[in-house]
Structures are given as C-alpha cells and as structure tokens.
Amino acid sequence: MARIGEVCQVLDELWPPSWAEEWDNIGLLVGDRQGTVHRCFCALDADGPVIAAAIAAGAELVISHHPLPFRPIRSVTEDSPTGAALLLAGREQVSLFACHTNLDVAPTGVSFHLAKALGVEPEPGRPTMLRVTGRDPLYKLIVFVPAGHEDSVLRAMADAGAGHVGNYSHCSFAAPGTGTFRPLAGAHPFIGQVGSLERQSELRLEVIVPAAARRKVVAALLAAHPYEEVAYDLIHLENDGEARGYGFVGTLPRSVRLSSFATRVARRLESPATRFVGDPERSIHRVAVVGGAGVDFVDDALARGADVLVTADVRYHEARGTEAKGLCLVDAGHQATEAVVIPAMAAELREALHRAQLEVEVLVADPRADVWHVPRLREP
Ligand SMILES: [Zn+2]
C-alpha cells in the first residue's frame, strides 16, 4: 500500500513532467494525492471501458499514455463520454495519471519499444534518436568521505541515479587527502572530541548526477554518510546530459523487400489494417519509427538516410508527398504503434516502486481490439 502522491513521485522521476510538450496535459489529472493505492492499472487510453476494467480489477490508479481529460472542458456531466468517464472515476475513487509526450521522448519510450518489436537494431556509433528535443542538465557532486566508508557512500549515490555514463554505472573518481574540523559545543562527532582540532584521512569522491535525480542522490548521500555534518559540493556542468526526443532510427539485421517488411510490421504489431507507400520491391535496410502520429518526421527520417518510416495517422496528401520525396512509409495504426510501450512502462514502474520500497501491484490492461476493423473483400 502507498499514497497516490508517493506513486506520482516515482512516476515523475521515471518520466519527468518537464519533458512533456507545453500543450500536453500530464501528471495526476483526477484524484487525491493523500488517497491510498494497492494496485495500478496501466493502459494506452483512459476512457469509460478502461476505467471500468480498472475498477473490476480492484485498481485505485489508472496510468495511461493518452490523457483524460486532454483538452480543456467546460463541464463534467453524463452528457459526454469524457464527462461520464470522469464522473465514473470520481464516484469509484479511481485516480487518473497520464504519461504522454514525456513518455514519447524518454530514451526508452514509445518509439524505442516500437523499434524493438520490429527488430530494428541500433547502429554502432550512430545516435538512435530521430529528433532530439532536449538534454537533461548534468551536475557534479563532490563529497568528502572518511577512508573506509567510500564504498557504501558510492553505492548509495549510484543506486539513487548518480554515476551513470553511457552504458556504465557506478562511475566515480576518488582522491585521498586530509580533512580538518573542530567539533563545537552541541556537536556529536562520528570521529574526534568536542573542542579539539581533528585531522582525518578522507577521500574526495566525485560523481556525475543528472538534474532529475539530484535531490534523491543528495538525500541518499546524507543517509549513507557517517558524519553529522556532510561536506559536499553540487556543481552545475556545461556538459550535455542524456538526449531525449522523438523517434528511433536503426537498421534491420538483413535487408528485406518493402512488401515483406510491411507484412512483418502487420504481423508483429497484430495490425491487419497496416498500409504502405513505396515500390513493394524496394530494398529496406535503415528504418525510422515514430509511434503514433509521426508524419511530421519525414524530413528527419530522410536526413538520417532511412529507407522507410513506420508511423501512423498518415493522410492521403501526406502519403503522396512522402512518396515524391523518395521515402517509403508504413502506416500501422495509432493504437498498434503505441500499445507496445504499455507492458514496458508497467515493468519500469514495477521496478521503480520496488526500489522505493512501495508495495503496489502494477497491472497491465488487456490489449483491446483495434478501434479500426478491416472488412473482408469476399464474404465466406
Ligand atoms: Zn498516441
């Protein structure tokens, strides 16, 4: 059991609200942070049927990719599907939380999982993000630790998110030196006596800390450090932090014809309404993907040398324009290109709740049939 507010804090640390677009509506949209939660329910949409399924599953918090409400509303009544869904959530005390564009741009967000589902692999030495929208500022944390305590302090800081460089964790630098201090009246020194000047062998321990994790890291440092008063410096750096942004670009292990690739997309995403634009015989090697409506990324995909862009919600003239530019398109539907992230989001949340020692079960909504049906051309 946890407070809704505690789970919101874990969610905000995984997918910081500052990553979301200005026009977006994310975070806790319905509910009481003081309320209790035993079970979360992760889903692509938050609408009446999903909220009803969450209630049936005994969940008190729905975490969705598409926000409810999304656009500003003037009234909350049973007269509209949005109003009815919000009233249902309120009546049954189900809170609603949305991770939308802040999940889209996450390094392991929607497009990352879409690419993984399609077997698109990163290219060594080339960035995978199709359009970078920002980078998290970095900080350097320097702390002075008495010799013998450096490992426990480093582990606590690293577990809280410090010392990550690319594919390496627990990165630090330690240099020996001497610290001095004189405990004054009222002090309870870990080492030394009140009133006498102490000289102590210490290590200067340095780690990198991403901005989003800095409060948590400092709290972990203070909890793990043996001294009553901890000397540390937190310094803002000019170095670029980890990139976040839209899309994923990579390659297939083996080139395939466009028509076979489109069939693979349809099969892996279980999206029979998948359509494609381009010469069916064209060889496909480099693939760009953008989950959801991503036709605005055609030029980014071309600039990165992609043969095809896998996305959704492409309109006729956009398809014609993309064909004229020489880029193939696979439109696999909005739902199918985004639903892949929901089980992954649930898994990340489960791990983070466990790290935060919050006992909350995380359920994943049953995959819904696509809102689009495909007619049979020949009746049986
Ligand atoms: Zn979407």
Q: What is the DSSP string of 214-253?
A: HHHHHHHHHHH--SSS--EEEEE--S---EEEE-EEEEEE
Q: How far is the CA of 86 from the centre of ligand 1 (A)?
A: 20
User: Domain residue spans in the chain?
Assistant: 2-103+339-364, 110-133+245-332, 137-236
pLDDT of amino acid 81: 94
Question: In angstroms, what is the span from residue 341 Cα to ligand 1's centroid?
Answer: 11
Type and span of the H or E element at 150: helix 150-159
| pLDDT number for residue 368 | 80
Q: In whole angstroms, how far apart are CA 263 and each of 78, 293, 301, 320? A: 42, 20, 21, 21
Residue 373 has a pLDDT of 86
The pLDDT, as a whole number, for residue 226 is 93
In the reported structure, the alpha carbon of residue 376 is separated from the centroid of ligand 1 by a whole-number distance in angstroms of 27
Helix (H) or strand (E) holding 296: none
**Cα 372 to middle of ligand 1, angstroms:** 15
Centre of ligand 1 to C-alpha 100, Å, is 8
The set of residues, in sequence order, having a beta carbon less than 8 Å from that of 181 and lying 6+ positions away, is: 189, 192, 197, 198, 200
How close is the Cα of 338 to the center of ligand 1, in Å?
6
CA of 226 to the centre of ligand 1 (A): 48
Distances (CA, A) of 79 to 45, 82, 93: 20, 9, 20
Per-position DSSP letters for 321-365, written without gaps between them: HHHHHT-EEEE--HHHHHHTHHHHHHHHHHHHHHHTT---EEEEP
Give the three-class secondary structure for 254.
Answer: strand
CA of 292 to the centre of ligand 1 (A): 5
Tokens in use for 141? Answer: 């944390």
Asked if CATH classification 3.30.1540.20 holds for the domain at 110-133+245-332, the reply, yes or no, is no
Q: Separation of 58 CA from ligand 1 center, angstroms?
A: 26
Q: What CATH number matches the domain at 137-236, 3.40.50.300, 3.40.50.740, 3.30.70.120, 1.10.287.70?
A: 3.30.70.120
CATH of 2-103+339-364 given 3.90.1150.10, 3.40.1390.30, 3.40.50.1240, 3.30.70.260:
3.40.1390.30
Which residue in the block uniquely carries the two structure tokens 């392991």?
108
Strand partners, 85: none
Distance 333 CA to ligand 1 centre (A): 10
For residues 108 and 348, is the Cβ–Cβ distance under 8 A? Answer: yes
Confirm whether 2-103+339-364 and 137-236 share one CATH topology: no
Task: Tell how far the Cα of 26 is from the centroid of ligand 1, in angstroms.
Answer: 13
User: 304, exposed or middle or buried, with CB in 10 Å at 0-12, 13-18, 19+?
Assistant: buried
Q: How big is the chain by its Cα radius of gyration, in Å? A: 25
Compute, in angstroms, the gap from residue 66 CA to the centroid of ligand 1. 6
Averaged pLDDT, groups of 10, the chain, 380 residues long:
94 92 95 95 95 96 96 93 95 96 93 96 92 90 94 93 86 93 88 87 94 88 93 92 91 96 95 94 97 96 97 97 97 96 95 91 89 81
